[in-house]
Amino acid sequence: MRKRTTRIIGAVGSLALAGTLVACGSSSSDTDAPLSNAADTSDVKHPEWSKYTFTVGDNGGDGSQELAKITGVFDNAPYKVKFARFTYGPPLVQAAASGDIDLGSVGDVPPITGAAKEYGFKVVAVNRSLTPDQAVENIIVPKGSKLKTAADLKGKKIAVPQGSSAHGLALNALKSVGLTPKDAKLVFLDPAAGATAFNTGKVDAWSIWNPQSAIAVKNGARIL
């Protein structure tokens, strides 16, 4: 079972970051960044901007930090930029709601579950895959597994990161064959713990995204 996921992201250019910093109040200083002449990011005209730190959430190694380093997008920013690493989406959404980060990229389900819990955050952009025929998440089974279709998941243990897009994939897979979550045994594990459970045979299937899915398949696992 595969899923093509729409990514919910916060994406702003370096010129807009200062405005976001003001709104999020992530600075350790009480001085407000000027809203006038916001298009000019010169630290000469706005030396107070150097007091601000903009925190970007890196979702499970989604490449945000590496991309920023390669492109140098923040090299000349008049404020400080740091990255906070998260293993998957729900903790990142919670961090955004609590103000621990200013921006982050997650899958489609975490914002829904976050909104249901009345977390305070905003979706500022939506990114659709340029390769919609390629799955972002998969339900995989170990090498030699007798499971062939989603219907075979009945009564089986499925490792899923709770509240994530992979969790949504598992629920939709069960629903597509007339099953409910009660018909299977969803085992809520973060990606690292899920990998251990999958590799040691403690679960029958694993709903997870790439690159974890691709790595497992390379090592003998099979996409259901």
Domains (range + CATH), the chain: 2-127 (3.40.190), 137-223 (3.40.190.10)
More confident residue, 4 or 118: 118
Task: Work out the average pLDDT over 126-138.
Answer: 69
* Strand, helix or coil for residue 223: strand
Strand partners, 86: 59
Bridge partners of residue 206, in order along the sequence? 140, 159
pLDDT tens, position by position, 32-63: 443 333 445 555 577 788 888 889 888 876 67
Q: How many CB atoms lie within 10 A of CB 21?
A: 21
Across 122-137, b (16+ Cβ under 10 Å) vs e yields: eeeeeeeeeeeeebbb
Q: What is the 3-state secondary structure (H, E, C) of 185-209?
A: EEEECCHHHHHHHHHCCCCCEEEEE
Give the mean model confidence (pLDDT) for residues 9-22.
30
Per-residue pLDDT at 32: 44
**173 and 205 Cβ atoms separated by less than 8 Å:** no
pLDDT confidence of residue 183:
97
What pLDDT sits at residue 129? Answer: 64
Sign of CA dihedral 49, 51, 52, 53: positive
pLDDT single digits (tens) 143-195 = 999 999 999 999 999 999 998 889 999 999 999 999 999 999 999 999 999 99
Mean pLDDT taken over the chain:
78
The pLDDT, as a whole number, for residue 104 is 84
pTM of the predicted structure, to 2 decimals: 0.69
Q: Which residue has the higher pLDDT, 148 or 210?
A: 148
Does residue 73 carry a pLDDT above 90?
A: no
The predicted pLDDT at position 158 comes to 98
